[in-house]
Amino acid sequence: MSLPYNLNDKQSIIDYAKLLKGKTLREACSNEIPNDNYAGKGKYGQTLEKFYFKYEPNSESEPDFAIAGLELKSTPLKQLKNNDYRSKERLVLNIINYIDVVNQNFETSSFWKKNANILLVFYLHQADLDIIDYLIKLVDEWSFPITDLEIIRNDWELIKTKIADGKAHELSEGDTFYLGACTKGANANSTRKQPFSDTPAKQRAYSLKQGYVNHIIASIANEPTGNYGKLIPTVEIAREKTIEEIVFDKVRPFLGKTDKELIEIFNLDNINPKSKNYYSKITDAIFDVPKYKNIDNYIEEFNKAEIVVKSIRVEEDSSIDQSISFNAFEYIKLFNESWINSDVKELFDKKFLFVFYRKRDHVYYLEKIKFWNMPYSDRNEVRRVWLETKKIIYSGKIFKGIQTIKNGKTRNLNFFPKMKDSNVFHVRPHGSNALDTYPLPIQEFTTKKFSYSKQCFWLKNNYVRDEIYLK
DNA sequence: GCATGATCATGC
DNA sequence: GCATGATCATGC
């Protein structure tokens, strides 16, 4: 059967693929797609291959279009409230063969052989539609910019090293910057053998982090990538140094400076010391965050690597007064998600950058920074607290009682996991005030209400001290 | 001093 | 009006 493109000619494949833009699979393949149930992961890619490109999926190690050296990937977009498009998820690439990878170098690796050049098809995901009715928004080939490739090479080496150290079972997406090792399998328990340990390791695939895919989207759509600052000015710097080293270089001139000195250096005369994001604003200034805005405008490399930045005050005796808060969680969302696709699991799959301001002679100075991602061993505890929280929402018994304090004020007591219940993670309020609520999936047992004051998960202060600051 | 509920300033 | 990145304040 003749194909509607030339298998030997990369450009003809790309040109043919681009005809998909603005269409759905149903439209692009006219009446050739049989009636079927188009549910399930991977089904979109299979349908695209079979009914648009008209070929059967080929061997694992070669790119889909082997002669042209082009790997076909289709991946969903989501639309934000401001109508911008973002990647709905990470882009999952080929499975990591733990046994083979330790004998490969980057240039000969299965990752590089398969993914050096990718033909990307981005479609708009809409939960209420059949997959063949998703609108295809962007189609183009992608090859990695040379500066990014240096980061990806380091990421690949780190993944390989961990496997070579017999720690494939401890791999985490937070280990690396752009290229992650994400779990992939029929279910959460899919495992495979690793070469230097008897412990079965979760099956994982190479993946591009969601933040990185967002930059691919911006690049393909030919949109300015936002007001990003940039850490890595040239590819030469990327070849010489890791991201960690570049970040340390950035911070080094300011170590030992007090908050007031930093404010003077960066002309932050309009920030209010009473504002609770005072130290985070100073951190933003150190990292050249343009206009010192929110995380969406963060520096490009942090954005691509989805790094979570936290500014922490440390007291003179090395204690940390306050636990670390995150976004308030939506009860309905938490109720409906499972651990494996939960926001909390996603959060601790990420890499963190802690910036420590330490008190000395009554003032805080920038003492040090630390990259961190949650060790394998602490994840179960986070999961336990998350499950406990979910159970309480599910039970409907959240409200415990009211305590009257000074000035006739009251406090609401609840049954969520407390600080004393865990050395790692707990739940506390996070809203404008007690009247600031999120809706509940089921009616609260005592109050008979369908909403409850906003809460969030917190990383315990002593955990941050012992496991991050002092380590 | 620690645990825990409450709340603030900012910026879009 | 609301999400964010935090710190404040009270009771024991």
Cα–Cα distance between A383 and A283 in angstroms, integer?
Answer: 30
Q: How many CB atoms lie within 10 A of CB A195?
A: 15
Q: Which of A110, A114, A107 is nearest to A99 (CA)?
A: A110
Could you tell me whether strands A71-79 and A117-124 are parallel, antiparallel, or unpaired per DSSP bridges?
A: parallel
Calculate the angstrom distance between C1' of C8 and CA of A288: 29
Over residues A154-174, mean pLDDT? 96
Q: Are A399 and A411 in contact (CB under 8 A)?
A: no
Pick out residues 320-349 of chain A having their CB under 7 A from any atom of nucleic acid strand B: 322-323, 325
Q: How many CB atoms lie within 10 A of CB A149?
A: 20
Over residues A8-14, mean pLDDT? 95
Q: Can you tell me which residue has its alpha carbon closest to the C1' of nucleotide B5?
A: A411
Q: Can you tell me which residue has its alpha carbon closest to the C1' of nucleotide C3?
A: A327
Q: Which nucleotide is nearest to A310 (CA to C1')?
A: C5
pLDDT digits 0-9 by tens, A433-451: 989 999 999 999 999 999 9
Amino acid in position A171? L
Cα–Cα distance between A240 and A233 in angstroms, integer?
Answer: 12
Calculate the angstrom distance between C1' of B10 and CA of A75: 36
Q: Which nucleotide is nearest to A281 (CA to C1')?
A: C5
Predicted local distance difference test score (pLDDT) of residue A295: 42
Q: Which nucleotide is nearest to A298 (CA to C1')?
A: C4
Cα–Cα distance between A394 and A133 in angstroms, integer?
Answer: 35
Q: Is the CB of A420 under 7 A from strand B?
A: yes
Amino acid in position A442? I
Predicted local distance difference test score (pLDDT) of residue A185: 77
For A314, what's the count of Cα atoms within 13 Å in the CB-facing half-sphere? 22
Q: Which of A136, A108, A120 is nearest to A72 (CA)?
A: A120
State whether residue A195 is helix, strand or coil: coil
pLDDT digits 0-9 by tens, A317-346: 999 999 999 999 999 999 999 999 899 999
Which residues of the protein are close to the nucleic strand C, CB under 7 angstroms?
Answer: A 275-280, 283, 294-295, 309-313, 321-325, 327-328, 403, 405-406, 430-432, 454
pLDDT band at residue A293, thresholds of 50, 70 and 90?
A: very low
Chain C bases having any atom below 7 Å from a protein CB: 2-8, 10-11
**Residue A437 forms beta bridges with which residues?**
A453
Predicted local distance difference test score (pLDDT) of residue A167: 96
pTM attached to this predicted model: 0.91
Please, what is the average pLDDT of chain A?
Answer: 90
Q: How many CB atoms lie within 10 A of CB A464?
A: 22
Q: Which nucleotide is nearest to A402 (CA to C1')?
A: B5
Calculate the angstrom distance between C1' of B9 and CA of A290: 20
What are the DSSP E strand ranges found in A129-183?
Answer: 136-143, 179-183
Q: Is the pLDDT of residue A173 over 90?
A: yes
Calculate the angstrom distance between C1' of C8 and CA of A278: 14
Q: What are phi and psi of A314, to 5 degrees?
A: -120, 135
Q: Which of A42, A105, A38, A115 is nearest to A75 (CA)?
A: A42
- The Cα-based distances of A30 to A24, A72, A377, A451 in angstroms read 10, 21, 52, 48
Q: Which of A346, A98, A324 is nearest to A209 (CA)?
A: A346
